[in-house]
Amino acid sequence: RRHTPTDHHMSFRTMARLQSDAWGMGEHEQLLKMIELAGSFDQLDLSNLAWAEMAFRRIQVIEWVHHERVREGESSGDRLSPEEWAAFSGTTRAGDTLMVCPQLLSHVKGVVETDVQIMKSVRKAREERELKRGHAKAKGKGKASSDG
C-alpha cells in the first residue's frame, strides 16, 4: 500500500500524540490534501511548482514545532534515549520520518549560528564601550579628587 500525504498526516498526528485541534494540525492536513490532489488528481509535477515548495516548507515548519513530542512518544524508558534504543534495536526512529528536509535544517542552523555570532559580537562591543566609559569616569573622578 502506498503512503499518501494524507496517510503521512495521520501517522504524524499519531506519532506526536496530537489532537486535530492542536496548533497547525488543520493547516497540516489541508496542505497535505492539496499536495495529494495536485499530484494524483491533477497530475502536476510538484517538484517544479513554487506553491508546492511553499506548502512543503510550511508543513516542515509545523512538523518541526511538534518534533519534540515525536521524540517523547518514542521514548523507551529511563535507561535508554530514543537514539540509543534505535541503535541497539536496529530500528528506525519515528523522528526520522518527519517530513523536514535535512538541507533545510542545515540552512536554518547556519542562519541561526550567524545570527548568534552577530548578537555575540554586538554584545561584546557594547560591554567594551561600557568598560571604557567606566574607566574614563574613574579617571575623571581620580583627577577631580587629586586636584581638590
Radius of gyration of the chain (CA): 26
Tens digits of residue pLDDT in 86-102: 666 566 655 556 677 88
Q: What is the identity of the amino acid at 125? A: A
Burial environment of residue 5 by CB neighbours within 10 A (0 to 12, 13 to 18, 19 or more): buried
- What pLDDT does 103 receive? 85
* Band of pLDDT at residue 50, cut at 50, 70 and 90: very high
Tens digits of residue pLDDT in 52-84: 999 998 999 898 888 877 777 665 445 556 666
DSSP-assigned letter for residue 98: S
Q: Is the pTM of this model over 0.75?
A: no
Query: Which residue has 508546492 as its cell numbers?
Result: 52
CB 92 within 8 A of CB 70: no
